[in-house]
Amino acid sequence: MKIAVLCSRVRIEEKLLFAALEDRGVTFDRLDTRELAFDTSRQRSCEYDAVLVRCLSDSRAFYLTHWFESFGVMTINCHRAIAVCGDKLRTSIALHNAGIPTPRTVFAFEPNRMIAAIEDIGYPVVLKPIRGSWGRLLAKVNDRCAAEALLEHKKTLGGVAHGVFYAQEYVDKPGRDLRALVVGDEIPYAIWRSSEHWITNTATGGEPELCSVSEDVRELALRAARAVRGEIVGVDLLETADGRLVVNEINHTPEFHSSVRVSDIDIAGYMVEYVIAKLEEDS
C-alpha cells in the first residue's frame, strides 16, 4: 500500500495527516504540485495505490485527479467531486437535482439579465464568484444601485472569477453557520462558526465551537456529500429564520485546524483510516 499526498504548502492539516500516516505504518510520498511535470505521451503507469488530494489550487486538483484516475488510481476526493465542488454553480445544480434544500440561486451572463433575476428573488442577495473559497469576493447586495455597480465591475474585470454572474438569496442566519465534516458515511464532528460579521467562516475570523450532530444535520450533510460524490468533504449549512437547515456550499479539501482547537477527535486519523479501509476493500 503506497499513498501520495498532493499538496503545495504544508499547513497544520497536512502535518497532522503525515503524522497519522506514519503512526499507521503507511508508506507515502508528499507530492509538491509545484514540482510536478508529466509527459502524457509516454507515462503509462503509476506507483501509487491512492492519492489523497490536499491541493490549495482548485485547478491543480482538477487536472491531477483526472490524470491519476486515468491510470486507475483511487483519488480522494475523486475528479468528479472536485469538478463539482470547485464550481459553486455546479454544486447548486447538483444539490437542487438531489432535492436538497439550498438558498435560492440565480445565474446569468449579462448585467441586465442578472439584475432582473436578482430582483425576482428580492434584496438583499449575496453575489459570489463561481470559484473561490475562504469568503473572498463575496458581496452582500442590498439594493439595485449596488447590484448595478458590482456587476459593471465584474463585467469589466472579466476572467474566470467574474465571467458568470452568480447570486443567492441572503439567509439571515443567527450570527453563525455550521460546518460538518463528512468522511465516508460518518460525520466525525461538526462546529458552529460564529461572527458579528455576516460572513462567518473561520478564514475571515469566525470563532469555532464544537456542536452535537443532530439527526437532521447528519442526514442533510450525508445527502449533500453523496450528491456531489464527495468522500471527505466539509458541508456548510445555514439556519434560516424559521429554523430550517439549508446547504450552502461543499468544500472538497476541508481545512480543520480550527476544529482541532475545540475538539479532541483525531480528525487526520479519521481521514487516513478511511483511505486505508477503501484500499483494503479494493484489494
Residue 244 confidence (pLDDT)? 93
Residue 134 confidence (pLDDT)? 67
Bond before 124 cis per omega within 30 degrees: yes
- Neighbouring residues of 281: CB distance < 8 A, sequence distance ≥ 6: none
Q: Where are the chain's structural domains?
A: 2-85+276-282, 104-169, 176-263
Mean pLDDT of 208-213: 92
pTM of the model: 0.94
Mean pLDDT value across the chain: 94
Cα separation, 81 vs 91, whole angstroms: 9
Cα separation, 124 vs 156, whole angstroms: 23
Q: To 5 degrees, how large is the angle CA 119–CA 96–CA 169? A: 25
Residue 150 confidence (pLDDT)? 95
Question: Can you list the positions of beta strands (E) in the chain?
Answer: 2-7, 27-32, 50-53, 74-76, 105-108, 125-128, 139-141, 165-169, 176-183, 186-194, 207-211, 232-239, 245-251
Residue 175 confidence (pLDDT)? 87
Is the pLDDT confidence value at 214 over 70?
A: yes
Rg of the chain over Cα atoms, rounded to whole angstroms, equals 20
Burial label for 35, CB within 10 Å (0-12, 13-18, 19+), is exposed
Which tens digit of pLDDT belongs to each residue from 68-111? Answer: 999 999 999 999 999 999 999 999 999 999 999 999 999 999 99
Q: Which CATH number fits domain 2-85+276-282: 3.30.2130.10, 3.40.50.20, 2.60.120.10, 3.40.50.2020?
A: 3.40.50.20
CATH dotted code for 104-169:
3.30.1490.20
Residue 136 confidence (pLDDT)? 78
Mean pLDDT of 191-201: 87
Mean pLDDT of 224-234: 98
Q: Which CATH number fits domain 176-263: 1.20.1260.10, 3.50.50.60, 3.30.470.20, 3.10.420.10?
A: 3.30.470.20
Residue 201 confidence (pLDDT)? 77
Lowest mean pLDDT among 31-40, 130-139, 146-155: 130-139
Distance of CA 256 to the CA centre of its chain: 12
